[in-house]
């Protein structure tokens, strides 16, 4: 069972992760020898009278070395001083960053792209999440070939999961030392006993993300009549391997590290992780389980795609920001779920939200504002927001209740449960600004409005002796404009740890996404749900990468990442710049390079490949010591830090990495220069000319202005200089565009002028 151990004093043992860097053997260390070594280390610091603690919860030995064990703070400090140890840190609790979207992206399936004729590589996506519901039609293996012979994974059995639950689509399933809490939303197979562990999803999140990344074609998919159509993942012919490292919305860092290590050993090509920690608790990369695992994954040429977090719209909130991670922001698609409310004064208002009636029709009920049905006068302000314990159930019963939703102290779900528990007949929320993500209220009538419509509702309540209203079931509006729009919840850059690397990298659909879900106990339960979050955006990118990998099997993860970033869309369906929910132009700190465009990414013309040497140099520039680097870097690479990495301004050198975007944290009165190397993957004989789209005052020069490729020359370097003497203070954004007359290769930049 996942636990968060809070020590009463420093001598109370709690789970710690001991990270020891890359394996001594390039093919991974022996499991038995590794565990014996770990036990010997524990024996050297744990008192003999507490010998029962000399045990390892998780041991990592394939892609990286380390283990998880119960330690006191003093013991952890002692271990951190061992020469073979990079870092020791408390085992963190991470959180989940929780159809039509592929049509909107201009997917290959909606543009008649001959996928099966062109595909020549079997891609395996590893999904680290809450497990999977294998009976979902999204994981049907019809029309898919035999399991690739290179696959070395397993299908672990649990109390409610058998080897027969795996197939040619779901080729692997593992679970770790976690235990689901009892859940009344999960309909488990009959005749099951108390769980001891299972790959089966009892939360729904893992089933959602796996189906978005690689779900099979499912015709007539719908969520109680909404979002009807063909459900499919980004790469329907790709295989799925699930690694259950989370339970009931929480994920333990050591389980994620073990899952990543297993995924590498099993033979996955891409790892999709819709998990992270709050930006408030971000730590150094060597104390971050996802950053550690993803680094060693990159050393083996495997891609890691992560959600950027749901703590927007404030800046400096993006997480999973290491440069070797593909960090994804969330946006809307051209579909809106509309809820209509008819007031008793014949005024009809159009809001947002998802609710449906399983029987009967919409009815009219008395309408009341929360602060007018308070439990006690002292609770008036709390009742305004429908906070728990603030409402009088007798006054609420039989009415539609209106609540304010300005802050995030109480979630929309909690407000719904508060009024529902008091026998209300519906809920109307009023926001300062309209939320981009529709709240799913199920069969409980619901609608949400911005402040303008909300003022009309409150005015009606205050001016009527007998206010009443009707909430109608949600309806779906397709081809909604503008779209995409950056989701209000999507975490923003700059990245606090890596401001010289632009984060997030890319934006993808993450609002109102139809995906597979676990069935609940109700009769006629839907097999699909509508969900929002960067959790949903992340597998869109994972699926797109799998699709591109299947067409270009020799391309590295970094090459595919570059192709996606330099071909990203920067305009909406009104042919205007992408915007946020405040109707302002979205900046690269909100959208990265732009919106995912899988088709264009197939033919990017130029690639900016970030190599492991770039990542090693990053560690040098970031400030890691030579001793730490000797442990972290793969033993097969005889790497030494560049001489200039010891300078006092070495973090500025991070901007020189061959990354597909440019970020400069601090541009003083002088001129800053960075270098990039372009690789030609288009026509062998081509000339590209550069142009600049940038803000007034910032002088951007590219030398040489033209770059030429011939058959023998595949790579060409160039230099970009930024002069901010006349530029506005703060971040300046723009694009460097290379064109041969047919292609436009866009490199976004963010330069902070001080």
> CA dist 239 to 364, 517, 682, Å?
49, 18, 29
Biggest CA–CA distance in the chain, Å, is 84
The C-alpha atoms of residue 309 and residue 329 are separated, in whole angstroms, by 8
Question: What is the separation of C-alpha 559 from the centre of its chain, rounded to a whole number of angstroms?
Answer: 20
Q: Is 205 a catalytic residue?
A: yes
Strand order in the sheet with 270-273: 170-175, 239-244, 124-129, 270-273, 303-307, 326-331, 506-509
Q: CA 358 to CA 193: how far, in whole Å?
A: 32
Phi, psi dihedral angles at 262 (to 5 degrees): -65, -40
Token pair belonging to 12 = 């109370």
542 in Cβ contact with 596 (< 8 Å): no
- In terms of C-beta density within 10 A (0-12 exposed, 13-18 middle, 19 or more buried), how is residue 101 classed? buried
Terminal C-alpha separation, the chain: 50
Sheet containing 93-96, strands listed edge to edge, beginning at the edge strand earlier in sequence: 246-247, 250-252, 93-96, 275-276
Angle subtended at Cα 276 by Cα 272 and Cα 278, rounded to the nearest 5 degrees: 160
- Rg for the chain, CA atoms, rounded: 27
The helix (run of H) or strand (run of E) holding residue 246 is strand 246-247
Cα gap 363→367, rounded to integer Å: 12
Of the candidates 87, 390, 441, 535, the residue annotated as catalytic is 535
CA proximity to 256, closest of 246, 266, 247, 248? 246
Sorted by sequence, the CB contacts under 8 Å of residue 12 that are 6+ apart come out as: 5, 72
Nearest CA-CA partner of 605 in 751, 457, 741: 741
The pLDDT score that the predictor gives to residue 599 is 95
Average pLDDT of the chain, as a whole number: 90
Question: Rounded to whole angstroms, how far apart are CA atoms 745 and 610?
Answer: 16
Kindly write down the DSSP assignment for every residue of 477-499, as one continuous string.
EES-SS--BB-TTS---S-SS-T
Please, what's the b/e burial string for 512-540 (b: 16 or more CB within 10 A of its CB; e: otherwise)?
bbbbbbbbbeeeeebbbbbbbbbbbbbbb
Q: Which tokens belong to 458? A: 């409150």
Positive or negative, the Cα torsion across 281, 282, 284, 288? positive
Token pair for 490: 């999507």
pLDDT reported for residue 99 = 42
- pLDDT at residue 647 in the model: 54
- How far apart are the C-alpha atoms of 3 and 7, rounded to whole Å? 12
Place of tokens 């930049």: 749
From CA 65, how far away is CA 57, in angstroms rounded?
14
**Whole-angstrom distance, CA of residue 255 vs CA of residue 178:** 8
- The C-alpha atoms of residue 170 and residue 210 are separated, in whole angstroms, by 10
Do 40 and 216 touch, CB atoms closer than 8 A?
no
Token pair of 733, please?
């954004």
Closest Cα partner for 402 from 413, 382, 418, 386?
A: 386
Active site (annotated) includes residue 535: yes
**Rounded distance, CA 167 to CA 571, Å?**
41
Q: Provide the phi-psi class of 501: left if phi over 0, else alpha when psi is between -120 and 50, else beta.
A: beta
Catalytic pick from 58, 61, 97, 205?
205
Q: What is the pLDDT of residues 251-278, one digit of tens each?
A: 999 999 999 999 999 999 999 999 999 9
Contacts of 749 (CB under 8 A, 6+ apart): 502, 588, 661, 662, 663, 664, 694, 700, 720, 722, 733, 734, 735, 736
Residue 275 DSSP SS3? strand
* Residue that has been written with the tokens 């940038």 in this structure: 694
Q: What is the pLDDT of residue 408?
A: 59
Residue 106: predicted pLDDT: 54
Q: Rounded distance, CA 159 to CA 268, Å?
A: 26
Cis peptide before 313 (omega within 30 of 0): yes
User: Which H or E run includes 520?
Assistant: none
SS3 at position 506: strand
DSSP H helix total and E strand total for the chain: 17, 36
pLDDT of amino acid 1:
32
Q: Beta strand 513-516 with 528-531: parallel, antiparallel or unpaired?
A: antiparallel
**Catalytic site includes residue 129:** yes
Beta carbons of 276 and 64 less than 8 angstroms apart: no
Sign of CA pseudo-dihedral 424, 425, 430, 433: positive
Query: What's the DSSP call for residue 587?
Result: P
Rounded distance, CA 681 to CA 715, Å?
Answer: 10
Catalytic residue among 129, 262, 287, 723: 129
- Report residues of the chain scoring pLDDT below 50: 1-8, 99-100, 102, 108-118, 180-195
Q: Which of 333, 337, 338 is nearest to 511 (CA)?
A: 333
CA atoms within 13 A on the CB side of 227: 35
Measured CA distances, 701 to 214, 289, 605, 724 (Å): 42, 40, 22, 12
pTM of the model: 0.91
Decide if 327 contacts 320 (C-beta within 8 A).
Answer: yes
| Alpha-carbon span 330 to 324, nearest angstrom | 19
Query: Could you give phi then psi for residue 71, rounded to 5 degrees?
Result: -135, 155
């Amino acid at each position: 069972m996942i636990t968060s151990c809070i020590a009463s004093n420093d001598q109370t043992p709690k789970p710690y992760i001991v990270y020891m860097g890359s394996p001594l053997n390039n093919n991974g260390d022996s499991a038995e020898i590794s565990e014996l070594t770990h036990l010997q280390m524990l024996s050297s610091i744990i008192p003999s009278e507490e010998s029962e603690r000399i045990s390892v919860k998780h041991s990592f030995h394939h892609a990286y070395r380390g283990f998880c064990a119960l330690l006191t703070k003093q013991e952890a400090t002692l271990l951190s001083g061992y020469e073979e140890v990079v870092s020791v840190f408390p085992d963190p609790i991470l959180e989940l960053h929780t159809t039509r979207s592929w049509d909107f992206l201009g997917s290959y399936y909606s543009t008649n792209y001959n996928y099966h004729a062109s595909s020549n590589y079997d891609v395996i996506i590893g999904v680290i999440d809450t497990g999977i519901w294998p009976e979902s039609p999204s994981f049907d293996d019809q029309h898919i070939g035999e399991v690739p012979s290179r696959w070395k994974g397993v299908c672990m059995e649990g109390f409610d999961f058998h080897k027969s639950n795996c197939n040619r689509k779901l080729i692997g399933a593992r679970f770790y030392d976690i235990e689901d809490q009892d859940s009344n939303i999960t309909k488990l197979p009959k005749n099951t006993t108390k769980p001891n562990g299972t790959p089966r999803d009892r939360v729904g999140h893992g089933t959602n993300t796996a189906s978005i990344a690689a779900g099979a074609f499912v015709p007539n998919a719908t969520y109680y009549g909404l979002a009807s159509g063909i459900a499919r993942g980004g790469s329907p012919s790709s295989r799925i391997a699930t690694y259950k490292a989370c339970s009931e919305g929480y994920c333990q860092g050591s389980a994620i590290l073990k899952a990543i290590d297993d995924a590498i050993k099993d033979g996955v090509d891409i790892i999709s992780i819709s998990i992270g920690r709050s930006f408030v608790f971000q730590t150094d990369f060597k104390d971050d389980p996802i950053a550690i695992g993803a680094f060693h994954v990159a050393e083996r040429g495997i891609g890691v795609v992560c959600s950027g977090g749901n703590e927007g719209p404030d800046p400096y909130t993006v997480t999973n920001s290491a440069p070797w991670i593909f960090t994804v922001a969330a946006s809307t698609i051209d579909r809106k779920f509309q809820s209509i409310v008819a007031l008793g004064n014949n005024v009809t208002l159009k809001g947002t939200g998802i609710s449906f009636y399983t029987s009967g029709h919409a009815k009219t009920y008395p309408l009341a504002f929360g602060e007018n049905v308070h439990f006690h006068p002292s609770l008036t302000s709390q009742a305004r927001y429908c906070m728990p314990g603030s409402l009088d159930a007798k006054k609420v019963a039989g009415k539609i209740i209106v609540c304010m939703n300005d802050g995030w102290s109480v979630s929309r779900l909690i407000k719904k449960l508060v009024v529902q528990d008091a026998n209300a007949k519906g809920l109307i929320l009023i926001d300062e600004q309209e939320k981009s993500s529709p709240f799913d209220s199920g069969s409980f009538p619901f609608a949400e409005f911005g402040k303008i419509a909300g003022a009309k509702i409150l005015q009606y309540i205050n001016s009527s002796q007998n206010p009443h209203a009707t909430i109608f079931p949600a309806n779906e509006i397709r081809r909604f404009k503008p779209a995409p729009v950056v989701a209000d919840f999507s975490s923003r850059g700059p990245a606090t740890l890596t401001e010289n690397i632009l984060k997030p990298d890319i934006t993808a659909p993450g609002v109102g996404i139809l995906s597979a879900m676990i069935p609940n106990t109700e009769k006629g339960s839907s097999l699909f749900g509508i969900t929002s979050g960067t959790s949903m955006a992340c597998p869109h990118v994972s699926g797109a990468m799998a699709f591109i990998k299947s067409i270009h099997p020799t391309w590295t993860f970094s090459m595919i990442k570059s192709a996606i970033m330099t071909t990203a869309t920067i305009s909406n369906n009104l042919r205007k710049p992408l915007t946020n929910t405040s109707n302002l132009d979205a900046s690269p700190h909100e959208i990265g390079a732009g919106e995912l465009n899988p088709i264009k990414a197939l033919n990017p013309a130029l690639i900016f490949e970030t190599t492991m040497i770039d990542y090693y140099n990053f560690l040098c520039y970031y400030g890691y010591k030579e001793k730490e680097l000797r442990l972290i870097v793969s033993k097969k690479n005889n790497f030494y830090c560049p001489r200039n990495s010891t300078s006092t301004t070495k973090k500025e050198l991070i901007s020189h990495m061959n990354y597909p975007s440019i970020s400069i944290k601090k541009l003083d009165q002088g001129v800053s220069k960075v270098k990039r190397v372009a690789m030609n993957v288009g026509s062998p004989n081509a000339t590209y000319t550069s142009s600049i789209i940038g803000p007034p005052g910032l002088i951007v020069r590219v030398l040489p202005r033209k770059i030429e490729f011939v058959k023998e020359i595949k790579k060409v370097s160039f230099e970009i200089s930024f002069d901010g003497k006349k530029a506005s203070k703060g971040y300046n954004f723009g694009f460097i565009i290379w064109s041969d007359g047919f292609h436009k290769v866009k490199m976004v930049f963010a330069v902070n002028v001080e």
